[in-house]
Chain A
Amino acid sequence: MGQADVVIEMPAIRSEESLPGSLAVLIEVPETKARQSTRRLRPAQPRTRVVRRQPRLRKRRLRSEVRLAGCALLALIPIVSACTLGWSNHPDRILACSISDPLEAVADGDLPGGPPRLGLDYQGGQGAASSPAAFVLSSEPAIAVPGATDVPVNFPGFVLPDDSREDLSHEGS
């Protein structure tokens, strides 16, 4: 038996009348839901509705009370905490005061006539001990080195010396 004998040979399509007889239906299987049938199999449970009502109601009352108490606590806690902690203690110094005001810096004369200073301004000495470090925003560079652009930059290996000749072995290469 060759392989060709196994594969279905698709015959030419014919009309239904050419086939002998009609196809007999051996069985008709209705659609069945297994889950539904398993539910049917369960024995009918006795109705204990009246007996089970009371504990259910008790449970519901208890749950509703607990829920009500929880909601009340949740609503009252922020109000109470705000009253006791937030409004009773007025801090002498606000944290935001640690950031120095640019106008104040101008008034101090650090930058006369100029824009507000920028950068990290560290006030050393006694001022630093008396007041916290001030942070000032500025658009100018914090550290300015005079004549920094005039300093030549040598990249070793990229600049060849002019005064010396190359090695003879590498000459002309």
Chain B
Amino acid sequence: MVGQQETINLFKSKAVTEKFVDAGVQLKRMSFFALVALIGTGALVGMLYVAVRTTYENRVSEKERLSQTLRQYNTREGLFLSVKERVGVVKKVDATRKPWVQILDATARVVTPPSLQAIVQDTEDRMALNIKVASLEETVAMAQTVLALHDENRIKSPQLISLTINKDGVIQFGFSFIPVF
């Protein structure tokens, strides 16, 4: 007997086959749903793509049409941009100009020629007056006018730069201030 049966099959072939059959059924079901889902998703994505693509192409052609119209107005646009840009530039330039005449008028309240020898306005916007008067009273009166201008906020930081009295009694002095515009 033993001599006739040379191999023994130890696998439980029936149980294994049942397991595979169950798994196979489940997998079939899953693969079916996956396929259906894929077809559904594909169709949805396809429709969405067509819709988005159509919108995109419509917009491209709309842009091209408007661009062509815009190109007809190149000169007008250039002129408009030039005006727009230049208004800003001219305004800025205008704002840097100072009404020096106002300050000259203010200084005329303090002193006029021939007592006024010179007016110097340097780059730091500080103005200096060189004055020559015959009496101390005149100097005091001028100083009072300078203080009044300061109080009126027409000038700021007034400073006496120099004061010389020569033997003839002629007083020469200079003072500086910062004009307020």
**Chain A bound to chain B:** no
Q: List residues of A whose CB falls within 8 A of some B CB.
A: none
